[in-house]
Amino acid sequence: MLHYALIFFIVAIVAGVLGFGGIAGASAGIAKILFFLFLLFLVASLVMHLVRGRA
């Protein structure tokens, strides 16, 4: 999932440089959503690992 966030981030940068504002904004928004979902899954995974490790 982080891979897709990075791809959308790169698309947003390229589109922004070329002057495609709408595409850059949409790609940046998708990259931001995917990045925060990745962080949420990472935190959930770490919490589950700590809980299972103590039991």
Domain that holds residue 12: 2-54
∠ CA 8-12-16, rounded to 5°: 170
Distance between CA atoms of residues 43 and 27, nearest Å: 24
**How many separate domains does the chain show?**
1
pTM equals 0.65
Query: How sure is the predictor about 15, in pLDDT bands with cuts at 50, 70 and 90?
Result: confident
Which tokens sit at 27?
A: 């790609």
pLDDT for residue 55: 59
pLDDT for residue 18: 80
